[in-house]
Structures are given as C-alpha cells and as structure tokens.
Amino acid sequence: MTELTQQTETAKPAAFAYAPAPESRAVVDIAPSYGLFIDGEFTDSAAGGLRKTVSPATEEVLAEYTQAEAEDVDRAVKAARKAFGPWSALPGAERAKYLFRIARIVQERSRELAVLETLDNGKPIRETRDADLPLVAAHFFYYAGWADKLAYAGFGAAPQPLGVAAQVIPWNFPLMMLAWKIAPALATGNTVVLKPAETTPLSALFFADICRQAGLPRGVVNIVTGDGSTGASLVGHPGVDKVAFTGSTAVGKEIARTVAGTDKRLTLELGGKGANIVFEDAPLDQAIEGIVNGIFFNQGQVCCAGSRLLVQESVHDEVLDALKRRLTTLRVGDPLDKNTDVGAINSAEQLARITELAAAGEAEGAERWSPACELPSDGYWFAPTLFTGVTQAHRIAREEVFGPVLSVLTFRTQEEAVAKANNTPYGLSAGIWTEKGSRILKMANQLRAGVVWANTFNKFDPASPFGGYKESGFGREGGRHGLEAYLEHA
Amino acid sequence: MSTPEPRLPVLKTYKLYVGGKFPRSESGRVYDVTDSRSTWLANAPLASRKDARDAVAAARKAFGGWSGATAYNRGQILYRIAEMLEGRRDQFATEVAAAEGVSRNKALARTDAAIDRWVWYAGWADKVTQVAGGANPVAGPFFNLSTPEPTGVVALLAPQRSSLLGLVSVLAPAIVTGNTAILVASHEAPLPALSLAEVLATSDLPPGVVNILSGNTAELARPLAAHQDVNAIDLAGAAPELATELEVAAADNLKRVLRPTTDTDPHTPWTADPGTSRLLSFLETKTVWHPIGT
C-alpha cells in the first residue's frame, strides 16, 4: 500500500488552474438580528438572549438570532394549537394551494436561498443551487398535491391529522430538512413548531418570510431558534402531539425516552455508517464517481453517507489508485465559488469531532491519505481523507464521522460483503456496484438498510421514502409513506 | 353391581416453548394458575430472565429462514395453524372459559374468532408487500421501488385478559410478515398460550419463529425491552406504569414500540376489526434505486 501511495502522489496530474468564479452575495440581504417567528410575526424572546451565527468558511458573523426559552416555546406551541382547528378544517384543496404557493416562491427565490444556505452552512454553492434548493421546491410541490387526496393514500377513508407537530432539524441540509418536515405536516392538516439547528438558523428564518408572502394563516408555521435546550423544551412540551427529529442517534434516543409514556407520536431520522460495496465486476469509472459522491457530497456531513467502502480484494489496488487520482482533482475552498467541490465543515465543534476520529484512525493502525490541497487559513476545514487497512474493530469503521473521511475495507465473497455491511447498529443506507443484475437484487434483499443505491449513490426525491432500520431511526420521509407520520392510525 | 371408580384424568404438564422445544423454566420455578373462582388449574412455568434471553437467541436464529421464506409459504403455514386450532376447538374453548371466567358459548365464540383471525392474517402474507410498497415516480432516469420488510425479532406482551383471541391478535400480524417473536403470555391466564404452542409445533412453523414464555410479565418484559438483539416490542399486555418504564428501556437500541391500547374494556380491542395497523407496525420500508440507461 505504501508503494501505491507514493506512486499515486508522484504521478498526480497537475490540477487545472481555475480563475475564481464566486457567486454574488448581493442577492441576499441578511438582517443584523432576528427574532422568533411565532403566530405569524417576528417577536422578541421573553428573556431576550441573542446568539450569533457565523459563516463556517470565514468565521464572519452573519447575524444575531434569538435564543428561545421555554416560555417562548410555550407561546409558539399555543399559537400552533390555536391555528390547528381552522387549518385542519380547511378543505384539502385549499391547503394544497398554500403549499403550491410556497413551492413557487421557493423556486422564485432559489438563488437568494442557495447563497444564504451556502453562507450559513459552508457547503458549496454548486450543491445548494443544484441539489438543496431544487429538492426543497420539489418537496413542497409533491406534498401540496397530496393535501386533497389523503383519502386515497391507504390510511383510511378520512385520515385525521395529529395536531401540533414539534420538529427539530439538523444543520447539514437546513432548508431541505425543513421542507421534509413541514411539507407533509401541513399537507395532512397539522400545524408546526420547527426548531432549526443552532449553527444554521437563517434559512428557516427566511422561510418564515416565505410563509408571509404565501399568505399562510398565522400560527400554522412557527419557527423557534436556539440551542439544544430549546429543542428539549419543544420536544417535552405537553401541548405537542407529534415529534419529528432528524439528527444524531444519541439525541434521538434521548428524545425517545422523553416521549415514552405519552401519547406523542415519534419519528426519528438518525445517524448512519453506510457501506458502499464495490464488486470486481463493477463499472469502475462510475463506481469511483459514486464513491466520491457518497462520502464527499456535503463534506461527508450526510447521515446516509457511504462512509465505509467495501471493495472486493481482487480490485482493491485498482480502485484505490483510481480513487486517489480522482481525489487529487477535487477543489476544496470558497463555498461560494462555482467551481468548488468541497466546502467548509459546518462548525468548530464538528471539525473537532472529525479531527479526533481521524486521529483515532491513525492511532489504531489504519493508513491515512489525503490529496495535497491548500486549506484556507480562516474557517473550519478538513481535507478529503481516506483510510486504508481499516478493520471492523476500528472506531472509524464503527462510529459515524460525519465528515469527509472514507474508511476502506475489503471482502472476498458476496456473503462476507453482506455480513460486513450489516455489522453495525445503524441501517440507513448502502451502495452496491456490480454489473450483475441478480447479484444486485440478492444484495438489496440482504442489506439491512432503508435506502439501497445500486450503481448510484446519494440520490433523493420527494416521491422516494427515506429513513432507517435499527438505530438509524424509524418512520419514513418522502412519498406516500411520509404521510403516515402525520396521520392518526386507522 | 358396583359403580366403577370415576376415571382419574391425566393432567398436562404445561411447559415453555422455545426454539421449537418444550422446556421447563431453567430456573425450575412454577406458579399456581387458577380459574376465575380460584380453583387450581395447573402449575405454569415461572420463566426467568435467562429463559427470555434463550428465547431471543432462538428467535434471532430463526429470523433469516422465516423472513426469507416465500410469502406464499408463510401464508400456508399460518393457515395450517388455523386448521390445527380448529381441530382442537373444544379444548381451547374449555381453557378459555376457565381462563376468562366466561360461559362455554362465549368461550367458543372467542375461540372461533381466534381461529378466524389466523385465517385473516394468513391471507395477508402475500398481499402486504403490494399494499405497503410500490414503485416511486422519481424525477430522473431511475428505477425506484419501496418494499416492506420485517423489522426482525419482536417481543410481544400478550394482553392480560383476552387469553387466546388477544394473544393471536398480537402474534399473527407480527409473524405473518416474517418477523420472529418472543411472546410473554398473560400472567394470570397463560394456559391457552402454552397450549397454542402445541398447535404451532404441529403446523410446520419452523422452530424459533414463535417462542412462548409464561411467568411474571414485568420480570420477563424488562430484560426483553432492554435486550440489544430485540428490534421491536408490543406493550399490549403492560399496565401503564410498566409500559412507560419499558418504553424508556426500549429507547436504548431504538426498538420500535407499540404502546398499549387505552380501552377500558379489555376485550374490545381484540373483538373489533383488526385492520392493518398491527400488521404494518413491525415493518421497515426499504427503497432501492437503480439507474435506467444502457
């Protein structure tokens, strides 16, 4: 392996020199500070505490926002409760039209929102522009169409909404996670109180303005910002009928304990340690692209990332050689630059976790490799990294890194690949690369994961149910299945 | 002519059902089971935590084969269970009457309903995939299919009062889709459950697919709720306080939890139309993508 590494580095093709191509920030107007969006208007907190949100790429302070305390959360839940009666009584066709309006306004403002999301999150503009924002609009458009067709969805002749939904979302796809939560909740007649992540509150606050533009009735959508304590207040509030959470498995378990013994319905979309399995008969060029997309999309800060590469022993060297060559061409840097492939890590805290786990990978004996790349001096950065010689016992093979770190393991037989892929408490995603159809179908049957990508990876669509097995959570988002989380059981 | 001595009946030794075998509790313990008038009926095994763990191991071992069996095959086996139960209808009616303190006619009606429930769920085996899954029209050149799959090993706390119909109503929907189960029988009325094991054992149901324990519900439920190799738990037979404690324990490996119903009449939930809600509770949706192209 050492020999191969040296070979690759010396044979590294010189990356093309690109002129900077930054997307303009002028399209977005960020206010100096933001209140809480409760009952249709921005209000101050009872306690009045402010927090700062920074651009992870530069550490520049973008704005101040409000730390919602328990009292504020209570106000938001009450507003949502008050709005629930009239909202759920609206004909589905009318609720649909509000959601269609929101979808259209998101499309109209998508460039502004893409730039905003890139600023607050640190992910490349190429991704917010081409993935996040189109998926946000598509999600609202998709669920808009369900609002007046719920009787045909297979949940009974007159399915009923649950009431007030408490929704807590992560920082990796801030606006997309908001869409995944709010669109099905509103379509089914629920009202919501949503808490965006502590490090990425801005797109949710801009969404509040979209609700105003759409003329959405007051209190149907409420946005409370803050840290974990705000989320805990919201989830634990007795006036909440439904809790939907996307985030870490540890917090998900805590939430499951909190709602135990209550009537609150719960869905959880949690962590993962996805296996991306490459057979010797795989279309290797496509597989390399799939591996790169699987672990470096959104800097690897993706719950369904293909963070464990399982490669058949016979093609290990060939795959690694090609993969390393490909990684040398990745452009790491300014997220607003349209040529950037890999942006900033979302926070100092997340960077510390990635750094610690990567160090553990080295300490436990795996071999670390990164392409030569210059990282900006300010902001939170981590070079694309891969580890070879990883065993199943290594922490980097067991724990979710949630960063641009790929662990490479090998297998000889199909049975071994299945056993290794399933050897994790998680079960969110898996990838299969082979040209043999019957092998794909057998593997797909045997992998205990909620989403299986065969000869592709990290594909999302509003019509396609997404969610995990085992400790990756329960419930599905997307598709007809996504309605179930927000309807009374027949 | 002297009247002959009345014949002394042969009593049954009730035992657990684990991995297709009928063991006593490894603890050697039993407890008194009585009818509604406190007349002694039998010594039922007072299963231990170790018995519960053995049952989990048996259920895990059986999962691959049972979940991998064809839906048609699972359906036929569930139907076979109904056939076997029908043949022992009188015996079960007697046990239900004693267990629930009801008339023979009422007990017969509940037994019949339990038999019919097996038939209802047998038919679901090869239909649920189409009802709960399907093709997804994604915006791109991809084949995209969602399929329901069994959650895995499921712990079932059988209803305390509905000793056969309630039991079948929680057991059949869990196993018909390919899950394997550990069933904790009603504490006070375990005999129909333990006799049902004899029916299961003669219905071509593979060993370990269903494992039946009798004993103290809380003592058995606690290790099952905390067990890292149990994927889901049905709390039907748990009192509210115990149910909350078990749900907290179940969060440790994010078991799927089915909370107890809140009906005041213990029989209502089981005599009503079962619907699909329990059937769908222990399923996971798997979505597979593949590009469409050359």
| pLDDT given for residue B232 in this prediction | 98
A211 is catalytic: no
Per residue in A348-375, pLDDT (tens digit) is: 999 999 999 999 999 999 999 999 989 9
Q: What integer pLDDT is reported at residue B269 of this predicted model?
A: 85
Nearest residue, CB atoms, B136 vs list A138, A270, A463: A463
Evaluate whether B257 touches B247 at the Cβ level (below 8 Å). yes
Chain B positions in Cβ-Cβ contact with residue A459 (cut-off 8 Å): 138, 140, 142, 289
Percent of chain B beyond pLDDT 70?
99
Strand order in the sheet with A275-278: A367-369, A385-388, A405-411, A308-312, A275-278, A429-433, A451-454, B283-291, B142-150, B134-135
- Pair A383, A404: CB distance under 8 Å: yes
- Where exactly are the structural domains of chain A? 26-270+469-486, 272-454
Select from A285, A461, A471, A487 the residue whose CB has the most chain B CBs within 10 Å, as the one to mutate to test that interface: A461
Residue A330 CB burial class (10 angstroms; 0-12, 13-18, ≥19): middle
pTM: 0.95
How would CATH label the architecture of A26-270+469-486? Answer: 3-Layer(aba) Sandwich (3.40)
ipTM, 2 decimals? 0.95
- Identify the CATH number of the domain defined by range A272-454: 3.40.309.10
Q: At A313, which helix (H) or strand (E)?
A: none
**What is the residue-averaged pLDDT of chain A?**
96
Using one digit for the tens of pLDDT, what is the confidence trace for A313-338? 999 999 999 999 999 999 999 999 99
CB contact under 8 Å between A451 and B137, yes or no, is no
Of A127, A269, A400, A477, which one is the catalytic site residue?
A269
pLDDT at B1: 58
Give CA angle at A279 (A278, A285), nearest 5°.
60
Residue of B256, B277, B286 lying closest to A450 (CB–CB): B286
pLDDT at res. B4: 79
pLDDT for the residue numbered A1: 35
Least Cα separation, residue B191 to chain A (angstroms): 30
Whether A303 is catalytic: yes
CA dihedral B48, B50, B54, B56 (to 10 degrees): 80
CA dist A10 and A266 (Å) reads 53
Indicate the pLDDT class of residue A16, thresholds 50, 70 and 90: low
State the Cα angle at B185 between B179 and B190, rounded to 5°: 145
A18 band by pLDDT with thresholds 50, 70 and 90 = confident
**Rounded to whole angstroms, how far apart are CA atoms A330 and A340?**
8
Please write the tens of the pLDDT for every residue from A186-242: 999 999 999 999 999 999 999 999 999 999 999 999 999 999 999 999 999 999 999
> In the CATH hierarchy, which fold is given to the domain comprising B30-291?
Aldehyde Dehydrogenase; Chain A, domain 1 (3.40.605)
**Cβ atoms of B138 and B189 closer than 8 Å:** no
Domains A26-270+469-486 and A272-454 share a fold: no
User: Per the CB < 8 Å rule, is A257 touching B251?
Assistant: yes
Q: Which residues of chain B fall below pLDDT 70?
A: 1-2
Q: How far is the C-alpha of A267 from the C-alpha of A85, rounded, in Å?
A: 23
Radius of gyration of chain A (CA): 22
Phi, psi of B51 (to 5 degrees): -60, -40
Contacts with A455 from chain B: Cβ below 8 Å: 290-291
Question: How far is Cα A306 from Cα A303, in angstroms, rounded to an integer?
Answer: 9
| Cα angle A400-A405-A408, degrees, rounded to a multiple of 5 | 90
